[in-house]
Amino acid sequence: MQKEKKKIMLTGDRPTGRLHIGHYVGSLRQRLEIQESGEYDKVFVMLADAQALTDNAENPEKVKESVLQVAIDYLSVGIDPKKTHILIQSEIPQLHELTVYYMNLVTVSRAQRNPTVKAELKMRGFGGDSVPVGFLAYPISQASDITAFKATIVPVGEDQEPMLEQCREIVRKFNSVYGEVLVEPEIYLPPNTACQRLPGTDGQAKMSKSLGNMIYLSDPEEELRKKVMSMFTDPGHLRIEDPGKIEGNTVFTYLDAFVKEDSFEKHLPEYKNLDELKAHYRRGGLGDVKVKKFLFAVLNEFLAPIREKRAYYEKNIEEVIEALEEGTAEARRVAAQTLADVKRAMQINYFEAWNEEYGRSFE
Ligand code: ATP
Ligand code: MG
């Protein structure tokens, strides 16, 4: 019987700050589902510190501090180091070695054409040719991360689609030139559009650490209340009796992403479900404050257990470090295997080949 293709997950985050609820709905929720499904041979989650440094070269403190903070976020939402290997990118030299070889398979114009990179260049203020080479090349290094673990699935938000496309192109090019070694990954997007790209509390298209419009998974209750109560809604909805818009109304987008089956029964029993609430808002007669209070209750219920686990890991930081140590060691082992396959295919496995040719052991 033919062995079924292995199912392997890899994804990660840039340690440039703590994780927010956009990361949760865009990627963390899907990782947890995969982790708990028991259907995967291996599950990897990566702290992409080397990638974070591509636009934070002068900010190593921030990256260092965030590595531990993001690891605590992982464990607090339920990433379980017994089931998921958590690794630190810069600790796996094989990943960077792969990048060097993949760079030869991508043209400068292809790298410049990536729409997410273009948007990020603008957001980070890299005008003209002032972009660091490493930043332009980060999608290539992401391809190394994905292929080093032979990942078949990558759960990420919609902004990562161009990265996955770039990765698949590299895989196809590599395999056609050197032979079938690498595996083409598939993207795993969240099921609804609210989650694929959660907007910021200010109504901007994307909640992002770089834009300062986020709700952190670690926000205390009062901070959360303040952020929710001052959120962007429908600027045309001035009086309670005015009809309101749902489209582009961030409060409703968050409700789309976070309301659970029992949320109304628990926190707003006058309505049966979100459709009823939306219909009332559209008709007029429903004030923003009431909807925001409901959203606060929903988010607070979601964040309360995460905060509790965070407090535990903050006190037991050695457990976090041990998880990173074990995950990184396993990742190193797997990446070394892939790099050996790659070098063999590229015929740059000199000593191994000479040993075979001459029947002795050169090193
Ligand atoms: P930075 O501004 O430093 O790039 P970021 O907030 O964009 O930070 P990343 O580390 O780049 O976060 O992204 C990690 C993962 O979270 C990716 O899979 C990305 O698609 C997802 N993600 C980030 N922001 C959102 C969002 N607002 N909605 C949905 N998914 C998101
Ligand atoms: Mg990003």
User: Is residue 135 located within the same domain as residue 72?
Assistant: yes
Are residues 103 and 184 both part of a single domain? yes
pLDDT digits 0-9 by tens, 183-228: 999 999 999 999 999 999 999 989 987 788 999 999 999 999 999 9
- Residue-wise pLDDT for 41-63, tens only, equals 999 999 999 999 999 999 999 99
- Residues facing residue 44 across a β-bridge: 10, 85
**Average pLDDT value over all residues in the chain:** 96
Say which ligand is closest to the CA of 200.
1
Ligand 1 atom showing the smallest separation from residue 55 Cα = 3
Least distant ligand from the CA of 162: 1
User: Does 84 share its domain with 23?
Assistant: yes
Residue 247 has pLDDT above 70, yes or no: yes
At 104 the pLDDT is 98
- The first and second tokens of residue 63, run together, are 């990256």
Mean pLDDT of 2-23: 90
78 has a pLDDT exceeding 60: yes
- Decide: 161 in ligand 1 pocket, CB within 6 A: no
Are residues 242 and 139 located together in one domain of the fold?
A: no
CA of 276 to the centre of ligand 2 (A): 35
pLDDT band at 4 (very low <50, low <70, confident <90, very high): low
* Same domain flag for 289 and 321: no
Q: Decide if 300 is inside a domain.
A: yes
> d(Cα 60, Cα 78) in Å, to the nearest integer?
28
Atom number, ligand 1, closest to the C-alpha of residue 208: 6
Q: Does one domain contain both 261 and 237? A: yes
Distance from C-alpha of 307 to C-alpha of 317, rounded to nearest angstrom = 15
In a domain, 184, yes or no: yes
Q: Domain span at residue 52? A: 8-197+317-358
Select from 128, 199, 185 the least CA-distant residue to 157.
Answer: 199
Count of structural domains, the chain: 2
In the block, which residue shows the tokens 């796996």? 92
Q: What is the DSSP letter of 120?
A: H
Residue 213 lies in a domain: no
Looking at the CA of 21, name the nearest ligand: 1
What pLDDT does 363 receive? 78
The pLDDT of residue 2 is above 60? no
Cβ(94) – ligand 1 distance below 6 Å: no
Average pLDDT over residues 5-30: 96
Give the alpha-carbon dihedral of 64, 327, 163, 197, to 10 degrees: -70
Interval 269-310: pLDDT, tens: 999 999 999 999 999 999 999 999 999 999 999 999 999 999
pLDDT of 360 > 90? The answer is no
The answer to whether the CB of 250 is under 6 A from ligand 1 is: no
Question: What does the CA dihedral 18, 21, 24, 27 come to, rounded to 10 degrees?
Answer: -90
Best probe residue, ligand 1, of 19, 23, 70, 145 (max atoms within 8 Å of C-beta): 23
Clarify whether residues 81 and 45 are in a common domain: yes
Clarify whether residues 31 and 166 are in a common domain: yes
When pLDDT is averaged across residues 233-254 and rounded to a whole number, the result is 96
Position 127 pLDDT exceeds 90: no
Mean pLDDT along residues 169-189 = 98
The residue-averaged pLDDT of 100-110 equals: 97
The answer on 184 and 120 residing in a single domain is: yes
Residue 340 lies in a domain: yes
pLDDT at 3: 57
What number does the ligand 1 atom closest to the CA of 20 have? 6
Residue 103: give its domain's CATH number: 3.40.50.620
CATH classification of the domain holding 233? 1.10.240.10
Q: Decide whether any atom of ligand 1 lies within 6 Å of the 51 Cβ.
A: no
